[in-house]
Chains A and B, each alone.
Chain A
């Protein structure tokens, strides 16, 4: 450095960048492919963009979208609750609880979602009716399985049990990621197991639980399209019902894909802010959620022009 300064002022030196020929070739090929795709999208009549526009906000498509969102939210909430319980059982000192939780995860995560879905839908083949009978009182009530197990209920049960298998592993990994010293310190302050779990372990585990849970939610949103097979009126089913009649298959699939991508985008943005919220103790200055959002948006504006 010293020598360079004595020979010439640094600003007088020209830097010749290394030529990345491979990069240029790669870029050129990518641009050509991109051009071909765009041309196909624009000129191939099968895509039929006006029809896409016509159905994008079609009432039955919007109703299907609502059903898909309802399914996703209901299943995810149930899966988080069941998964957390299974994870806590998995970490329990009781061998039986531990083995039960392991078996649960092995089975419900291992068996394909589609098979579980069809199984629950056909539960009446195993159990015809549910009834509550008490000695000396007699049968209090009886319900036919087929009356309870509507396609929607079957979808919710099957997919929440399946999803809970994944959530249990995510929650377990999160709880394990919290240093054991935290539990010891809480214990030495006289906090009991439940209090420690609720106030100390789980909140810290959240930072490790939230990102994969976001991924799971996005995954689940798309997995719910499987319910089409048991005739739940979700987004894909709504589109299928239309193109079965009109044969406008490709435009309607584009409509469906558009809505899935739209919701996934919204979810990804939401996930980003939730992650920031749970990572706040990592940041240099203490920040409330409000301050953090403000900072996040300012950062976003700065990043855009570049």
Chain B
């Protein structure tokens, strides 16, 4: 693990940083979606990313766990590149096994839940701990029940995703991500696909997680959640960070006209 210390020294990563981005770029063909993103998410803190659709916020989130490869810049999770190893000044793509190991430490919650539709809620939760971490079935089940309890769905352990409401599905999806004991949880618009009356139950679970000290990066349209739970707020527009700051301050008194305009639409 010398690479971690080396990375920290080389890129000036602050101590206690969980997600660190410097000049992150991403292009799809000729279209540059991210034009140099800087971000530092300290361990145990919550970063909320807002911005109009097409601003690149979801792409940035997907870069963090290497669902998308970055085209340039430095993106570290817990001091390490997710998809690469830095050796002799070159980035070597890591093999599949190592990539999977590192991804297992980065939980992700999707806008469309993406629960495994052929498995019950419980099976969704025990699948990766058993198959990836080699946990015994009994242990995985015990842990899964505890997590379902935590998201208030222990009664739905044997239900298939289709039998659950959107809000329930998203809570199971959060529990599924937690089952891997991730170092950081990424949320990609977790409430955007939900009926308005179901948004609250998901936000309650997320707030509970934040209070328990989970490091979270949340792409969201829920300004209220960002204000009350977020430690920092990032406003992205057209592939750049237009403004960042302490959420309450920034929402009450946005500096950039773009931020002001965006907030006036969503508030």
A residues contacting B by CB (< 8 A) are: 179, 181-182, 184-193, 195, 199-200, 203-204, 280-286
A187: which B residues are within 8 A, CB to CB? Answer: 67, 103
* A189 cross-chain contacts in B, Cβ below 8 A: 103-104, 107, 127-128, 132, 176-177, 180
Given A190-B100, A192-B97, A281-B162, 8 extra CB contacts under 8 A: A185-B173, A187-B103, A190-B101, A204-B116, A204-B118, A281-B119, A282-B162, A283-B160
- The reply to whether B159 and A188 form a contact with Cβ atoms under 8 Å apart is no
Chain A binding surface SS class: helix
Q: Which residues of A contact B128 (CB under 8 A)?
A: 186, 189-191
In the bound complex, what is the Cα–Cα distance between A179 and B117 (angstroms)? 10
Q: Are A188 and B132 in contact (CB under 8 A)?
A: no
Chain B's nearest CB lies how many Å from the CB of A209? 13
CA distance A53 to B180 in the complex (A): 66
How distant is A237 from chain B, measured CB to nearest CB, in Å? 43
List which B129-156 residues lie within 8 A (CB) of chain A: 131-132
- A184 touching B162 by the CB < 8 A rule? no
A285 with B163: CB separation less than 8 A? yes
Report A254 CB to chain B, min CB distance, Å. 44
Tell me if B165 counts as interface (CB < 8 A to partner A). no
A203 neighbours in B (Cβ, 8 Å): 118
Cross-chain contact B131 with A191 (CB below 8 angstroms):
yes
Cα distance A157–B194 when bound, in Å?
53
Contact of B131 among A182, A195, A285 (CB under 8 A): A195
- Pick the residue among A188, A195, A204 that contacts B103 (CB under 8 A): A188
Does the CB pair B108–A192 fall under 8 Å?
no
B128 CB to nearest chain A CB (Å): 4
By a CB distance below 8 angstroms, the chain B residues around A185 are 108, 110, 114-116, 173
Smallest CB separation, A198 vs chain B (Å): 9
A188 touches B108 (CB 8 A): yes
Distance from B84 Cβ to chain A, minimum over Cβ atoms (Å): 17
Min CB–CB distance A96 → chain B (angstroms): 20
Q: Knowing A204-B117, A281-B162, A286-B158 are in contact, say whether A188-B131 is a contact too (CB < 8 A).
A: no
Knowing A195-B131, A282-B162, A284-B163, say if A184 contacts B114 (CB, 8 Å): yes
In the complex, what distance in Å separates the CA atom of A282 from the CA atom of B104? Answer: 29
Interface residues of B in 45-97 (CB under 8 A from A): 65, 67, 96-97
**Is B104 within 8 A of A181, CB to CB?**
no
Chain B residue contacts of A280, Cβ below 8 A: 160
